[in-house]
Amino acid sequence: MGFFSKLFRKEVQETSSKNVEDFVSLTRVYFQSVIAANIGITNIRFIPDVANFKRLFKIPTQGGRLGLAEKTASRKMLMQDYGLSENFFKEIDASVKRHCRTQNDVQSYLFLYQGFSNDLMMLMGNLMQWKFRLPSFFKGALRTMTEKTVHDVCTKTVWKQDDVHKTAAAVRQYKERLGYSEQWMSEYVYNVVMLAKKEKRRPEENEGKK
């Protein structure tokens, strides 16, 4: 998320209980919980984000299986705090089920997903810079612009800038391999953008009170 920190000139400090880092971390908890529940992981050190989540929120292990209770709890938080849809989680479930059939598949899948997420956010930051300046109350317009830009990334094969062209091609390849839709990508990007805007606004508000 370093690119977004620079883009919004975010100060290096915690500015909100709902921020980009928390959103991304909670999403990782859901991913790891689904994987743990699906393939029967018993060593909690193999899923460090879930381990931290369990300790922080005191989540008891359900039925002697790691991942079940953590999946439910993280899903509930993501829906309540960030307004994610049912389909967002269904796509994660389907992708994990398809690609993680044994414990040996997990690291390569998570590595692939991390590359997808990083390239997607870097590309969207490049393509939507001026649009990020829109006031947060234009949520509908920003969501529409996000969806349009994601659609361009998924369908447009020729870009003027070489770096954009290469990154867009990489994102499309990740998308096809992992099985995520334009809708999923748009929902993920939109939440990161809105949270980053809030993190920028909070320090500015504090400065105005001095």
Number of domains in the chain: 2
The pTM assigned to this predicted structure is 0.83
Q: Are residues 68 and 111 in the same domain?
A: no
* Average pLDDT over every residue of 177-203: 85
Q: Kindly state whether residue 153 falls inside one of the protein's structural domains.
A: yes
Domain that holds residue 115: 105-201
DSSP of 160-208: SSHHHHHHHHHHHHHHHHHT--HHHHHHHHHHHHHHHHHHHHHHHHHHH
Q: What is the pLDDT of residues 123-142, one digit of tens each?
A: 998 888 756 566 656 788 88
Q: Are residues 34 and 121 in the same domain?
A: no
